[in-house]
Amino acid sequence: MPYADSATIILGADGFLGRNLVERWQAEGWLVHAIGRAAGDLTDFAVVDRAFRDAPKAGRIFHAVTKQRTGQIQYAMQGELLRDNARIHLNVLDAWRSHQPQAKLVSLGSSCTYAEADHPTPEAEFGIGRPHPSVQGYALAKELLATGCEVFGKQYDMRWLHCVLATVYGPHAHTEDTRAHFMAAMIDRAIRTQASGATEFEVWGNPRTVRDLLHVHDQIDAIIAADDAFTDCVLNVTPNAPVEIGDCARAILAALRWDARIVSPPGSFQGAGYKSLDSSRFLAKTGWTPKLSVEQGVAQILAARQAGAAAR
């Protein structure tokens, strides 16, 4: 495993994915150099340049930094999300070239970069068409990152991999209405609503909405498998097992043993109706499969929350 031979830089070390990456590296005993909010404002090139200059020479850089929002608020801040994320990504690319060219840059992308489609989208469709209007600026910044990895890699002879991920949930996930992805938000809302004594559970948007979904620990396993098998490409890293949001809601209710009626408030936020990736290249080469079903993942989260409550 290459991570045992040299340091790994993890950017965004105190975010959702970043915290889980750091914890995995520490659990494995791999040397990790964490760069988080304490480093400063990563839209400032001087901050990123200094962080990369002062870091140990690394074999890998995992770029998990992103400024994102979810739900209706996205429509009001697409320019801001484009501006700030584009600056962060360009700063990372320049600092990589200047101070860590020996490191393979593994950047973590989002399925929202792809245009809306009624079928699982393969890598050949990356950058073709327009993404959903709610994520237009954010998606363009992610596309810039992937393209930047490619052109910097070619010009300066550096290795890279851009992994396009599933919707992820699990430990350290955001639960705020404006930041949480659908699964983490539903789990948190279900726990709070059940505790209130309600008999109805609100599922925002259309329960028939389709997404790819992974527990964060499974997604990290998949990223590690992808890094081992691929380089210098954009790669979909999902299980080829899309789920309907309504089925996820029912799995949550089952785990909570809560006999509630699922309702969908009219006018609640609805993103793309179908968003799933074709990860056949990744799966065929790695043979990776997730360890946790949706039901098992939810049960694990509930058990962790109960243990935390008991410890307090």
In this predicted structure, what is the pLDDT of residue 179?
62
Print pLDDT tens along the chain (312 aa): 689 999 999 999 999 999 999 999 999 999 999 999 999 999 999 999 999 999 999 999 999 998 766 656 666 778 898 999 999 999 999 999 999 999 999 999 999 899 988 899 999 999 898 888 878 888 999 999 999 999 999 999 999 999 999 999 999 887 766 666 678 888 888 988 999 999 999 888 788 889 999 999 999 999 999 999 999 999 999 999 999 999 999 999 999 999 999 998 887 666 778 899 999 999 999 999 999 998 899 888 888 877 766 666
Q: Does residue 44 sit in the same domain as residue 104? A: yes
Which amino acid is located at 312 in the chain? R
Q: How far from 117 is each of 55, 65, 181, CA to CA, in Å?
A: 41, 27, 20
Q: Does residue 174 sit in the same domain as residue 89? A: no
For 128, counting Cβ atoms within 10 Å of its Cβ (0-12 exposed, 13-18 middle, 19+ buried), the class is: exposed
Q: Does residue 160 sit in the same domain as residue 221? A: yes
286 inside domain: no
| Of 283, 295, 289, 299, residue with least CA distance to 221 | 289
- CA dist., res. 125 & res. 266, Å (int): 33
Cβ atoms < 10 Å from Cβ of 136: 17
CATH number at residue 178: 3.90.25.10
Q: Does residue 188 sit in the same domain as residue 92? A: no
In this predicted structure, what is the pLDDT of residue 178?
62
18 inside domain: yes
- CA dist., res. 97 & res. 99, Å (int): 6
31 inside domain: yes
The number of helices, as runs of H, and strands, as runs of E, in the chain is 9, 12
- CA dist., res. 285 & res. 179, Å (int): 34
161 neighbors 104 (Cβ within 8 angstroms): yes
Range of the domain at 199: 169-210+242-274+292-311
- CA dist., res. 203 & res. 248, Å (int): 10
Q: Does residue 127 sit in the same domain as residue 200? A: no
With H, G, I as helix, E, B as strand and everything else as coil, classify residue 92. Answer: helix
- CA dist., res. 163 & res. 109, Å (int): 6
- CA dist., res. 258 & res. 94, Å (int): 51
Task: Classify the C-alpha dihedral 244-246-252-257 as positive or negative.
Answer: negative
In this predicted structure, what is the pLDDT of residue 216?
96
Q: How far is CA 161 from the centre of its chain?
A: 15
Q: Does residue 202 sit in the same domain as residue 227? A: no
With H, G, I as helix, E, B as strand and everything else as coil, classify residue 203. Answer: coil
Q: Does residue 12 sit in the same domain as residue 149? A: yes
CATH number at residue 220: 3.40.50.720
152 inside domain: yes
| Of 115, 64, 77, 67, residue with least CA distance to 276 | 115
Q: Does residue 132 sit in the same domain as residue 222? A: yes
Q: Is 183 left (phi over 0), alpha (psi -120 to 50) or beta?
A: alpha
Q: Does residue 160 sit in the same domain as residue 296? A: no
In this prediction the pTM is: 0.93
- How many domains would you assign to the chain? 2
281 inside domain: no
In this predicted structure, what is the pLDDT of residue 59?
98
